[in-house]
Homo-oligomer: A and B are copies of this chain.
Amino acid sequence: MTITNQADHDPRSNEGTAAAAAVSPEAATNLLVIEDDDNICSAISEYFSRAGYKVTTAQDGAAGVQSALNNHPDVVVLDLMLPKMDGLAVCKELRQKTPQMPILMLTAKDDIVDKILGLEMGADDYITKPFSLRELEARIKSVLRRARTAVTEDESGEAPIVRGKLRIDPARREVTIGDRQVELTPKEFDLLRLFASNPGRVFPRKYLLQKIWDYSYEGYDRTIDSHINRLRAKVEDNPDNPQMVLTVWGIGYKFSDEQ
């Protein structure tokens, strides 16, 4: 016997459209766009204003940082290529000064190196040009949702983490899927807990090495793959088609925030 939740008209499920945001009951979301290209800038600005966001823009990195610190936007959309101070530097500085502020980075198409650097610098997510505005909006919502529920990853609270059928009990170091208990090794457990505490957030391999394997570990980062492999074998119903621990091609892994 399974209880499902279909055909449930939850207003939240309309996410991703401009109209939905416009009727949102909550106070307008403040959006700061740091982008030097006028076309992109005004397109974003127009779309999101109409969608009920309050949009501020900045044309270069220095101005962006200023604006972010003065206006405390709810989310920053940050281009990587900027005059005066490039996106990575901006990201780094904002992370230092306002660690909580969610940052969504715009990167040139296929610029994997930059994506990785961006994520390592502390961006919360990235989106590659070209992108649709609806896509951007979806990402922004996702980042905002995560920020609201942010569990600082090392807080390691004793409260159980539940994601669908998956349940992690940090105090007992127990993991169950549905009613089945799963035995994990320490590394597997640490990885899964980190992932599941921050669904949707992308963890680059380098970052994982630092976080789970202590600092400046100059190792083979394929090692992570091995652990992910074994973790999936234990945790996924069908390891060939993972539903929880997902690969982000060229970057690393993340926990699904679907469902």
Contact = CB atoms under 8 A, between A and B. Distances in A.
A126 interface: yes
A126 B149 CA distance: 16
Given A179-B16, A179-B134, A259-B110, A1 B3 contact: yes
15 contacts: A1-B43, A2-B133, A3-B40, A3-B131, A10-B108, A12-B180, A112-B149, A127-B162, A128-B162, A128-B163, A131-B165, A132-B178, A172-B200, A172-B254, A186-B249
Q: In the assembly, how many copies of this chain are there?
A: 2
Given A1-B43, A3-B40, A172-B257, 7 more contacts: A1-B133, A2-B132, A3-B131, A3-B133, A5-B109, A5-B130, A110-B259
B10 A249 contact: no
A200 B2 CA distance: 28
Given A2-B6, A5-B129, A110-B259, A135 B47 contact: no
Interface stretch (A113-121, A209-217, A219-227): A113-121
A189 to B, nearest CB: 9
A1 B12 contact: no
Contacts of A259: 109-110
Contacts of A99: none
Interface in A4-31: 4-8, 10, 12, 15-16
Interface string A68-88: 000000000000000000000
B162 A126 contact: yes
A79 to B, nearest CB: 11
Contacts of A171: 201-202
A97 interface: no
